[in-house]
A and B are shown apart, each in its own frame.
Chain A
C-alpha cells in the first residue's frame, strides 16, 4: 500500500530534523571539547609559569622549592599533578617524589613556547628557562643553567566531562528528533485537515446528488481553491453529461413507447376475438409499418451511439456522394415530384472520414426530401475557400414555423409532431448531423426565410488529429463567420 501523504510529509520533516540535530550536535560537541581543552591548557600553562618562579639557582646549584616543602602542603600540591625538572639529560627534581618521571626530551632553548604532549591519562607541558639567581647566597655562576621543567596533569576529569557532554548531546538530539517527528505529524495533519474535509465531501457525492458542489469557504487554504474550482468544473461537466444521458434515455423510451403501444394495442385487439383474413391482413400491414418506424429510431440511435468512434481520413468528393444519394432517393423524389439542383465546383475534395460525411449528407438530403413542398426544387450548393468547405441544402418549406428553427437540431424534433405524417422519420437525423459535424470541428446551422428552409454546413477542408491544429481550424471557422467571407445563401435566389 502506498504511504499516505500525511506519513510521507511527517517522515520527511522528521528525518530532516534528525539530520539537523545530528549535525548541530556534532558541531556543538566539537566546539565545547575544543573550549574545554583550551581552558585546560591555559590552566596548565599558568601552573607551569608559576612553578618556574619556584626554581632558584645559587652557588650550590639549582634548588626547587617544592622539594623543600612538605608534600602535604596544600599550596604546593595539586592533586594528580606530576612535576619533573631536568638539565640536559640529568633529572634534578621529581614531585611528588614517588611519581613517575616525565619524559626527558627536548632540551630546548630557554624562552621557547610551551610544548604540550599527551601521555596516557596525563597532559604535559614543558618549558625551558634560566632559573632565577639568588644574589644573596654567595658567588654566582658565570652563566645561568637552562632548566627544562615539565608538569603533567591528569585528564580523567575532562575526559569524563567530554563523555558526559557527548551523551547529553546525543540524548537531547534524539529527544529533539522524536519530538520533531511528533510535532511534524501533528502539524502536517492539521495542515492536511482541509484536504480531508474536501475528500469527505467528494466521497459523499453520488450519481443522484451531482447537483451538489464542494463548498469553498474562507476557512479553506487558498492553495486548495484552484483544485476545488477544477473539481467543481468537472462536476458541472459530469452533471451535464448525466443529465444529457438521462434526458436521452427518457426521450428514447418515450419515442419507442408510442410505436410499441400501437403494436401492443393492434395485436391484442387482433387476438381478442376471431377476425376475418382481411382484418388480420390490415393489422399485419399496420404492424409492419410500426416495426419499420421503430427500426428507423433504433438505427438512428445506433448511429448516434457509434458516432464518436474511430474515424478514417481520406479524400472525399462530395459531388459523387451527393449524386449517389440523390439516386438512392429517386423513388421518393419522383413520388413527390421533387428535383435536385446541384451547384458544385470542380476539383472539389474534402479530407475527412467518408462514412461520416455520407451519414451527414444523407440525413440532410432525406430531411429535405421529406419536408420539401411537393413539386419544388431542392438546391444543393457547395463552395470552397482555402480553409473551409460550405455546403448548403435548401428546400421550399411553406408554413414552416419560424419559432421552431432553434429546435430543429434537438433530438426527436419533427416538423409535424403528428407521427403519422412523417412516415419512418425518427426525429434524430438532424441531431445526429449536428453531433457528427461538431466531431469534425465543423459547424451546422439552419435558417428559414421566405418559406425556404436552409441548412448551412461548414467543414474544415482537412481533418486534423492534433488538438492545436483543430483549434486553429476552429479559429479560422470563427474568423470566417465574423468577417462574412462565407457568404450567406440568398434564399430568394
Chain B
C-alpha cells in the first residue's frame, strides 16, 4: 500500500512517514502543496495524509484540485485548527477523515488503514480466504488457526493481493504499492517477495495460495468468507 504525506513541518512529516513505513506502507512525502499535487497526480496512492496550512498551495486547494481531476484517493486531513467550520469545509471539500494536531501516531496509522479498507469495499478488518485468515488491523495472518510470521513488506504485499482478490495484479502495480519515489529497487524484487510469501503461506500445499498469471501478474482466487 502506498501513501502520500504532504506536510511542511519536517518533524511531523518524518515521524508520520516513518510510522507508516514501519507498518509496511510505501510512503512518498511532499513539503508543500505544489509538490504534493504533482506527486498525487503522477502516481497512484492508496491514501493521502494532507496538512491544511501549506506553502504554495494550501490543503483545501490541493484537495479541491484532486477531486476536480477525478482522483478519488482517500484523504486524511491534518490540521492544527479544530474549529467546526474548518472540519466542515474539509469534509465537504472531499476529505474522508480529519485529524487534529497533536495526534497519536498510532491513531493516524489506524485511520489510514481504515480509509484504505473502506476504499476497497471491506467493512471488516478481517479477510478470510480459504484456510488463510488475514487481520489487517492486528497485522497478523493465520493458516488453519496457526499464526504465520510475516515481515511488514510481506504483509503489505499479501494485503494488497487479498484486497484485490479475484483480480490479477500486475508486477508494476505491486511495485508501485510497495516502493516509494525514492526507491531504486527493480520489479524483480516483486518476484522475490512473492517467493517468500508462498514459502510461508503454502507450507507444502499442492496448490499455491498466490497464483501466477504468466505475462500478467499474480492473483489470489476466491472470495472473502
Within 8 A of A (CB), among B80-130: 80-81, 83, 100-106
A406-448 near B? 1/0 per residue, CB < 8 Å: 0000000000111110000000000000000000000000000
Task: List the one stretch of A182-190, A267-275, A368-376 in contact with chain B.
Answer: A267-275
B150 within 8 A of A: no
A261 and B55 in contact (CB under 8 A), knowing A250-B83, A420-B31? no
B178 within 8 A of A: no
Task: List the one stretch of A54-62, A109-117, A171-179, A251-259 in contact with chain B.
Answer: A251-259
B16 within 8 A of A: yes
A264 and B102 in contact (CB under 8 A), knowing A250-B83, A254-B81, A416-B55? yes
B: interface residue count bin: 20 to 34
Q: Which residues of A contact B18 (CB under 8 A)?
A: 269
Within 8 A of B (CB), among A239-267: 250, 253-255, 257-266
A156 within 8 A of B: no
Bound form: Cα–Cα A253–B79 in Å:
12
A281 within 8 A of B: no
Q: Are B55's CB and A418's CB within 8 A?
A: yes
Q: Which residues of A contact B102 (CB under 8 A)?
A: 257, 260-261, 263-265
In the complex formed, the residue of A with least CB distance to B100 is A257
A417 and B15 in contact (CB under 8 A), knowing A250-B83, A254-B81, A258-B80? no
Task: List the one stretch of B6-14, B36-44, B180-188 in contact with chain A.
Answer: B6-14
For the complex formed, measure the closest distance between the CB of A428 and the CB atoms of chain B, giving whole angstroms: 16
In the complex formed, the residue of B with least CB distance to A419 is B9
Bound form: Cα–Cα A257–B51 in Å:
13
Q: Which residues of A contact B15 (CB under 8 A)?
A: 262, 265-266, 268-269
Q: Are B11's CB and A263's CB within 8 A?
A: yes
The one of A261, A268, A420 that contacts B101, using a Cβ cutoff of 8 Å: A261
A277-292 near B? 1/0 per residue, CB < 8 Å: 0000000001101100
The one of B9, B10, B81, B106 that contacts A268, using a Cβ cutoff of 8 Å: B106
A: interface residue count bin: 20 to 34
For the complex formed, measure the closest distance between the CB of B34 and the CB atoms of chain A, giving whole angstroms: 11
Q: Which residues of A contact B9 (CB under 8 A)?
A: 258-259, 261-262, 418-420
Q: Are A264's CB and B103's CB within 8 A?
A: yes
Q: Are B12's CB and A268's CB within 8 A?
A: no
Bound form: Cα–Cα A178–B105 in Å:
81
For the complex formed, measure the closest distance between the CB of B27 and the CB atoms of chain A, giving whole angstroms: 13
Residue in A250, A263, A266, A418 with the greatest tally of chain B CB atoms within 10 Å:
A418
For the complex formed, measure the closest distance between the CB of A429 and the CB atoms of chain B, giving whole angstroms: 19
For the complex formed, measure the closest distance between the CB of A264 and the CB atoms of chain B, giving whole angstroms: 4
Q: Which residues of B contact A263 (CB under 8 A)?
A: 11, 102
Residue in B81, B102, B103, B104 with the greatest tally of chain A CB atoms within 10 Å:
B102
- The interface of chain A, by Cβ under 8 A from chain B, is 250, 253-255, 257-266, 268-269, 272-273, 286-287, 289-290, 416-420
7 residue pairs A–B, Cβ–Cβ below 8 Å: A254-B80, A257-B100, A257-B102, A261-B101, A261-B103, A266-B11, A272-B22
- The interface of chain B, by Cβ under 8 A from chain A, is 8-12, 14-16, 18-19, 22, 31-32, 53-55, 80-81, 83, 100-106
User: Beyond the given A264-B103, A269-B19, A417-B53, could you list 14 further A-B residue pairs with CB under 8 A, ordered by the A residue number?
Assistant: A253-B80, A262-B10, A265-B11, A265-B15, A265-B103, A265-B105, A268-B15, A268-B104, A268-B105, A269-B22, A286-B10, A286-B11, A286-B14, A416-B55
